[in-house]
Amino acid sequence: MNAASKNLTPSDMGRILDILSRKAVQHDEVQAVLGVDSDQLRALIPQLAAENICLEESASEFSLKNTNGYGEATLSWRCNSELLFLPHCNSTNQVAAEMAMNQPDLTLVVADHQTAGRGRMGRGWDAEQGQNILMSLILRPELSPDRLARCALILAAEIADELDLSLKWPNDLLNAQGQKVAGVLCETREVDGRTILIFGLGLNVNQCEFKNLPQAASLRGSEDSPELDRAELVGRLAKRLLGSDLNQSLDLWRRRSGMLGQMVEVAGRRGIAESVRDDGALIVDGEAVLAGDVFLLTQV
């Protein structure tokens, strides 16, 4: 980072971008409006350019010409919350778990690329660099242990509702064609006698090809569609997740489900997926299923 901008925190940069996204700022108003001097603002230009944000200076003013970027400054602006951005990491859930002791509640960890992303049961989660959303949220819920398992369903339902997706128990988010566009992974850690919940999300955004994964898709859908603004999406999802009530019922999950009422196969049995119990268990023909992969058979 340039010397002139070394004292600017990510939240400072986010605040500056927020103001500039709404209006250009005249040279003689920079200090009063943005709280920095012109030299500090000029020093941000190459840093923002690295995130694909175009901050332009004319003879009279500073203005933003492109806001579809991705990086520390852009995400600080879009999310307005505690956030750590990593260009690369092994897994955002792993990073979040390792840093949870020293980070405040509701901290977001966002990566542009993962080398060891994980789904349920240790399965890998592969995503092209610079195309998708890979993030984890650190939570310290005041909940009894028997209510922690349902948190994944509650938060997944919030995401599905925000993006108009459907849900497949226990952790998949599907598009209207029944293709998987996202998965969630909830893990717990005990730190100083207190339970910390790590909620991870892998969301396919702009990636259009998925080798050997015929049932995978992205929000963008195809290369014929314009690229989506990932930082704007992270901001929307962060707002939704940070405002969620982990004590709420699972009614939203039930409404967003695309599998209830259908014939399924799970945990070695076939039957109608009737509902989801308040503790998060799937009810199939009156019997509770606590874990397993669900396969949709026929719609009834």
Domain membership of residue 89 (yes or no) is: yes
Domain membership of residue 92 (yes or no) is: yes
pLDDT of residue 117: 66
223-241: average pLDDT: 95
pLDDT of residue 125: 62
Domain membership of residue 144 (yes or no) is: yes
Task: Report the C-alpha gap between 117 and 235 in whole angstroms.
Answer: 21
CATH number at residue 98: 3.30.930.10
- pLDDT greater than 70 at residue 121: no
Domain membership of residue 125 (yes or no) is: yes
CB 205 within 8 A of CB 233: yes
pLDDT band at 232 (very low <50, low <70, confident <90, very high): very high
Task: Report the C-alpha gap between 40 and 14 in whole angstroms.
Answer: 14
pLDDT of residue 55: 96
Same-domain check for residues 272 and 252: no
Same-domain check for residues 162 and 33: no
In sequence order, what DSSP letters do the residues of the chain get, joined into one string?
--GGGTT--HHHHHHHHHHHHH--EEGGGHHHHHSS-HHHHHHHHHHHHTTT-EEEE-SSEEEEEE----SHHHHHHHH-S-EEEESSBS-HHHHHHHHGGGS-TT-EEEES-BSS-B-GGG-B----TTTSEEEEEEE-----GGGTTTHHHHHHHHHHHHHT-EEETTTEEE-TTS-EEEEEEEEEEEETTEEEEEEEEEE--S----TT-TTB--SS-STTSPPP-HHHHHHHHHHHHHT--TTS-SHHHHHHBSSTTEEEEETTEEEEEEEE-TTSPEEETTEEE-S---EEEEE-
Percentage of residues of the chain with pLDDT beyond 70: 94
How far apart, in Å, do the first and last CA atoms of the chain sit? 59
- pLDDT greater than 70 at residue 6: no
What interhelical angle do 230-242 and 151-163 show, nearest 10?
Answer: 130
pLDDT band at 80 (very low <50, low <70, confident <90, very high): confident
- Total structural domains in the chain? 3
Same-domain check for residues 144 and 129: yes
Domain membership of residue 71 (yes or no) is: no
Same-domain check for residues 97 and 243: yes
- pLDDT greater than 60 at residue 299: no
Provide the domain limits for residue 110: 81-256
91-107: average pLDDT: 90
Summarised one tens digit per residue, pLDDT across range 25-45 is 999 999 999 999 999 999 999
Statement: the pTM of the whole predicted model exceeds 0.75: yes
Same-domain check for residues 134 and 110: yes
Same-domain check for residues 213 and 271: no
105-121: average pLDDT: 82
- pLDDT greater than 90 at residue 119: no
Percentage of residues of the chain with pLDDT beyond 90: 73
- Strand partners for 196: 189
- Give the chain's mean pLDDT: 90
pLDDT band at 11 (very low <50, low <70, confident <90, very high): confident
Domain membership of residue 72 (yes or no) is: no
Same-domain check for residues 209 and 226: yes
Same-domain check for residues 51 and 97: no
Summarised one tens digit per residue, pLDDT across range 245-270 is 999 999 999 999 989 999 999 988 89
- pLDDT greater than 50 at residue 2: no
pLDDT band at 289 (very low <50, low <70, confident <90, very high): very high
CATH number at residue 53: 1.10.10
CA dihedral 151, 152, 157, 159 (to 10 degrees): 110
Same-domain check for residues 249 and 143: yes
pLDDT of residue 110: 97
Same-domain check for residues 216 and 269: no
Same-domain check for residues 44 and 158: no
Summarised one tens digit per residue, pLDDT across range 42-70 is 999 999 999 999 999 999 999 999 899 99
